[in-house]
Amino acid sequence: MLFARSFESEWKASRLTRLTEEGGVDFAAPINESRFVTAPHVIEISEDARLVNAAREGNRSAFGELYGKYARVVHGILLSRVPPEDVDDLVQDVFLHAMRNLRSLRDGAAFAGWLAAMARNRASDYHRRSRQHVELQDEIEDEKPPQPEPHAILAAIRSLPGAYSETLTLRLVEGLTGPEIAERTGLTPGSVRVNLHRGMAQLREKLGLKTGEKP
């Protein structure tokens, strides 16, 4: 009996030694002793990248999902820069341009920032092409009676510096939260907070509101 136990013990020790040498795993280590284990490298693909890749292959449903996710962002960016009556048409222009140029986007995960930049460029292009019309429109509006309060607020927002105007439009008009603005424009959460804080302070000043009053 003692011999059997001794043989079993020696066999287990031999087996553990062989497993250790062959597999590189220390099965004989105490259970509570820490061991560093290198996890296999897993390549993750973002939801935007998945949708972009599918849209590149002609999947219109995938591009529809991108449109649904980012339409308000594009609308807000344009609304902060161009006359409201032209915004809807320009939103469609931006998404059509994006769909046609998806293959030029190397990293599908960067779609949000790429699309936001495209919307800003489209607004700049709008003003370059219609400078004379905009100047005439401004003269006509100067002669109009005071606008209703919502229009006055939007006009005040649009008169702010670009970064503040865009972020406030996305927050107050499009109804996006701070984290949503950051995610869908490529801005950092810190930049969004700064833009909202400083932009709101300037907006209250333009509207003659005291601190704490909402526009």
Residue 203 within a domain:
yes
Query: What is the CATH classification number for the domain harbouring 150?
Result: 1.10.1740.10
Share of the chain above pLDDT 90, in %: 41
pLDDT in tens, 117-161: 999 999 999 888 766 444 434 433 443 434 447 778 888 888 888
Q: Which residues of 9-33 are buried (b: 16+ CB within 10 A; e: fewer)?
A: eeeeeeeeeeeeeeeeeeeeeeeee
Residue 9 within a domain:
no
Q: How far does CA 49 lie from the centroid of its chain? A: 12
Residue 96 within a domain:
yes
Q: How far is CA 38 from CA 18, 23, 42, 210, in A?
A: 22, 14, 12, 57
CB 113 within 8 A of CB 146: no
- For the chain, residues with pLDDT lower than 50 are 1-5, 7-8, 11-13, 15-43, 132-148
> Which pLDDT value is given to residue 215?
59
d(CA 158, CA 141): 15
> Which pLDDT value is given to residue 137?
45
Residue 75 within a domain:
yes
Closest CA to 149 of 214, 77, 79, 212: 214
Contacts (Cβ under 8 Å, ≥6 apart) of 80: 157, 158, 162, 165, 166, 168, 169, 170
Q: Within the chain, how many helices (H) and strands (E) appear?
A: 10, 0
Q: What is the mean pLDDT of the chain?
A: 76
Contacts (Cβ under 8 Å, ≥6 apart) of 117: none
Residue 37 within a domain:
no
Residue 62 within a domain:
yes
d(CA 77, CA 74): 5
Domains identified in the chain, total number = 1
pTM: 0.62
Angle CA 88–90–92, to nearest 5: 75
Per the structure, the complete domain to which residue 110 belongs is given by 47-207
> Which pLDDT value is given to residue 80?
92
Residue 214 within a domain:
no
> Which pLDDT value is given to residue 170?
92
Residue 213 within a domain:
no
